[in-house]
Amino acid sequence: MDPSEDDAPIFAPEDVPVSSAPRSEEPWKVLVVDDEEQVHAVTKLVLGDFTFEGRGLSFLGAFSGKDGARLLRENPDVAVILLDVVMETDHAGLDLVRKIREEQGNRKVRIVLRTGQPGQAPEKQAFLGYDINDYRTKTELTSDKLFTAMVGALRNYEDIERISFLYEQVQASQLAAVVAMADLAEFKDEDTGEHVLRIKRRTEAITRQLVDGSPYSAQIDDTFRALIGTASILHDIGKVGIPDRILRKPAPLDEDEWRIMKTHTTLGESLLGKLARMVHGPSFMSLGSRIAGAHHEKWDGTGYPRGLAGEAIPLEARIVSVADVFDALVHRRPYKDPWPVVDALEALRRDSGTHFDPVVVDAFAAVVKREGWE
């Protein structure tokens, strides 16, 4: 800290009463990150009786950017951070902002930057270069301005919470509708709902693994990651157009039946493609269309319906193919008993480079080893 700052007032004197409405719910969590104990003490004193929407404040304190990052990881429901700029380094606060937004992925918490040395982080540069929500110098933070800054931050946080809740509800409803569509395709299979959710989880896990340093990491953007799990659920949606006598036949299919069975890929691709054209931009339906049409293609070009080979097969379909076959192997079917995981994984490895993309198989093997899936 600059020695010249020692004598500067932390809050300019101003005697303004603060709301003292009784607390009726869990308090809002506020994280104070500042290397001066006096700042922590004065903040708690000024805001001690603060309430918003009937809720008071609960304070967490950190004296360095490193400790602030740790406390936020441990308390992801922190609503507001009152953050100093100059702590263990001249830009520790700004470094923490980057860590919160980019590394921790926390976009909800409201960050109020407080500085006693505005020259270290000029206001315009701080707003343009960092995802902060308010900027105050310590000398301007009178009790009423701290009050209004806190109300504004909490009001903003509450709005984001409401939007997040609604988004989660929409996502949950969308997932339920997609699972129902998948169930419709194989409605006589009691395991279908669980099957497609397992495919979703495994597809998402393989995708996360591929992001971590695989040759395909550049192909997997945020949109791909967000959509592929839901899209994978619909990989067999085309079976809705296959007669039950073929779908449920307990014996091997004859040549004509197998020809009809294979059309579930193009039926699903066409159905989801029509739906995708009704939505602007990428969607789980556009991704799902490609998965439905290509998840039975093989790396060596011997699959169906088009005999695509290698990277001509969409990456999303190559991922789902591994997840789907593994799930079929380790779970009971009318025609087979479940295989042990080790045997199923060995079967994938044997077919790596012929049926399956070797990079995807390696990624899945790493996931199985880490997660211990059954």
Q: DSSP letter string over 139-200?
A: GG--HHHHHHHHHHHHHHHHHHHHHHHHHHHHHHHHHHHHHHHHHHHTTT-TTHHHHHHHHH
301 phi and psi, to 5 degrees? 90, 10
Q: Which residues pair with 32 in a beta bridge?
A: 61, 82
Side by side, which strands form the sheet with 28-33? 57-62, 28-33, 80-84, 110-115, 134-137
66 is catalytic: no
Query: Which helix (H) or strand (E) is 112 found in, with range?
Result: strand 110-115
Q: Which residues pair with 182 in a beta bridge?
A: none
Q: Is the dihedral of CA 321, 322, 323, 327 positive or negative?
A: positive
End-to-end Cα separation, the chain, in angstroms: 55
Radius of gyration, CA atoms only, the chain: 28
Q: Which residues pair with 113 in a beta bridge?
A: 83, 135
Question: Both tokens of residue 71?
Answer: 């406390």
Which residue is catalytic, options 239, 249, 262, 298?
A: 239
> Residue 47 in contact with residue 57, Cβ under 8 Å?
yes
Find all residues with CB under 8 Å of 156, minimum gap 6, and list them. Answer: 110, 133
> Residue 91 in contact with residue 121, Cβ under 8 Å?
yes
Would you name the residues annotated as active-site residues?
239
